Amino acid sequence: MKTVNLGRSGVQCEAVGLGTWAMGGWMWGGNDDAAAIDAIRASLDAGVRMIDSAPAYGLGHAEELVGKALAGRRHDAVIATKCGLVWHVQKGTHFFDEQGKAVYRYLGRDAIAHEVEASLRRLQTDYIDLYITHWQDATTPVAETMEALLALKREGKIRAIGVSNVDAPTLREYLRHGQVDAIQERYSLIDREIESELLPLCRAHDVAVIGYSSLALGLLSGPIDADREFQGDDQRKDNPRFSRENRMSVNRFFAEIEPLRARVGCTFAQLMIAWCTAPERITVALCGARTAAQARENALAGEVRLGAPESALIDAAAARHLAALMP
């Protein structure tokens, strides 16, 4: 599996990482803790080192599962987690409610100092490899946020600094105040907004690009039953992308690229993940998994290599069938 650098930090991982949002349970129709722990360990066994989490994933629950799964194996993993969505104080801007608690966007130095200690405790570690500002806070100057992050780096509590859900001007402001090692943004075959400004800016400043939702919440994981119903608080239940008509379009797309999939010798999900990390695209593709089998399948995508002709074929098929799904 291809090894990549997270900017200039010296931290290395593979081009495929494991995302743990669904393991927290919130917005994914519940969770199975035992299966989640198995999935994390299966990822490590398959050569995937980056395990990405956040306090907001189940109000700390996903981080706790990562900590349990990595017991005795901490040095096998590259842990990425986040700060900036808080429920211990009511500062910044109210963002959403989760499990009866009001969650705020806030990146003040006081909150970052509190959050890093809580994450270290839940993760059962004394350092975090990549610490990411989860969502941006318009009420706190970027200079203050970066000052707090750089202090944590000097103290050895974090090894690299990342930012997420930023626009190009905000990233430039971060870069004015210190080294940014990675950004984390939504990126998939049907989510390509970052290609216009953020990707060129990151290349110019040696900033790694980590893509989340590489399979578009599962929509691009392969042919999907057009009549499937999503239950409970599963966010896909009311997502217009998952309409019956759109799922039929996705199935037509996969039917067209079936000969390519067969020739490459991989699953559709692996093909979509490999598309994300093909040359001139992103550094790491994060993939969610809730079972060991899903984790192993995602990991194998790191061994799939797509050249320009294969990428062009996929792009052309997407233009024919998935244009209505693209922002």
One-letter amino acid of 97: D
Could you give the residue ranges of the DSSP H alpha helices within the chain?
Answer: 33-45, 61-69, 109-123, 142-155, 168-177, 198-204, 244-256, 258-264, 268-276, 292-300, 308-321
To the nearest 10 degrees (0 to 180), the angle between helices 142-155 and 109-123 is: 40
> In 3D, which of 31, 39, 27 has the Cα closest to residue 287?
39
One-character DSSP codes across 250-304:
HHHHHHHTHHHHHHHTS-HHHHHHHHHTSTTS-SEEEEE-SSHHHHHHHHHGGG-
Length of the chain: 327
* 3-class DSSP state of 192: coil
Residue 241 sits at φ, ψ, to 5 deg, of -60, -25
Which residues are catalytic, by number? 57
- Comparing C-alpha atoms, which of 91, 48, 77, 225 is closest to residue 159? 77
Least Cα distance to 189 among 96, 72, 306 occurs for 306
CA 233 to chain centre: 20
